[in-house]
Amino acid sequence: MQTRSIGSLEVSVVGIGCNNFGSRLDQTGTDEVVGAALDAGITLFDTADIYGGTKSEEYLGRALGARRNEVAIATKFGMEIDEARGGAAPDYVRQACDDSLRRLRTDRIDLYQLHVPDPAVPIADTLGALHELQAAGKVIEIGCSNFTADQLGEAATAAGGAGAFRSVQNQYSLLWRLPETDGVLAACDADSMALLPYYPLANGLLTGKVRPGQPIPEGTRLALMPADRSSHWLSDAFTTKVGALLSFAEDRGVSMLSIAFSWLLSHGSVSSVIAGASTAEQVRANAAAPLTLADDVIAALDSLTGE
């Protein structure tokens, strides 16, 4: 498994999104996924305090056990857990970190990410608390998620010499290319900031299992999604592109999964492709997916999926 950097961290180019832990997966299922990931050389596990109603962090901590030091744990704070927990005020940042450390059964968080911007709190205040956690050794690197290019610039200005975010986790895939046009990818390139794409498989559309004109496979994320959300992903615009990508992949004897992962990793700022998994088989398929794409293949994919 190849690795890339997030600040001082070296992480596998394929990561595991842990949003299934504590929701679709119990502890036994989590153990199986984590074990398969470790065996496949995956070293980045991305969770959040709200995943699984806070159970994801607990299950991940138990599953890693004595192998914790072999991996980088990324978690997030800031989304509302309940009326008393949420946001990015300094006191809460410190509390949320301690709560996550306890649930994860660890003494440090390798990448601590602000899950969403908090308009009620100056970003300088949040960064100040995060820098305190770094100084205390509780956090190694800091990142953010769902930030615009302007918000990333504001954070960089507010941090000054103390250092701003080392990563940003935003939606990015062959079917969602907004970071290319909204300035986020350019900001990552300019500031040596890692981009961690979420929904890299567009909620299952890029797994190869969903085929235009055929029923959605039972048990998949799209099949379990409320109709108001699935209708967005199953729009004519998306399904037309999925059909074109399937033909492109099949003509070249390459899996749709490999196309989706490899295209993202052709961008130097993408440090790791974080994808959820609910079985050991899915983990192994994700780990084996990355290939080196020729320039003409990348250009063809850009053309097929661009606006």
Share of the chain above pLDDT 90, in %: 86
What is the C-alpha to C-alpha distance for residues 146 and 262, in angstroms, rounded to an integer? 23
| Catalytic residue status for 199 | no
The verdict on residue 119 lying in a domain is yes
Q: Which two tokens mark 272?
A: 């790791």
Note whether 144 and 175 are within 8 A (CB): no
Strands 3-6 and 9-12 come out as antiparallel
The verdict on residue 268 lying in a domain is yes
The verdict on residue 214 lying in a domain is no
Strand pairing partners for 109? 139
Coil, helix or strand at residue 48: coil
pTM of the model: 0.94
Question: What is the structure's pLDDT at 140?
Answer: 98
What is the C-alpha to C-alpha distance for residues 227 and 233, in angstroms, rounded to an integer? 10
CATH number at residue 275: 3.20.20.100
Amino acid at 157: T
Number of domains present in the structure of the chain: 1
Burial of 23: CB neighbours in 10 Å, binned 0-12, 13-18, 19+:
middle
**Active-site choice (51, 59, 112, 199):** 51
The verdict on residue 229 lying in a domain is no
Coil, helix or strand at residue 99: helix
What is the C-alpha to C-alpha distance for residues 126 and 72, in angstroms, rounded to an integer? 23
The verdict on residue 41 lying in a domain is yes
Per-residue pLDDT of 109-136, as tens digits, reads: 999 999 999 999 999 999 999 999 999 9
167 is in which domain, residue-wise? 3-209+264-292
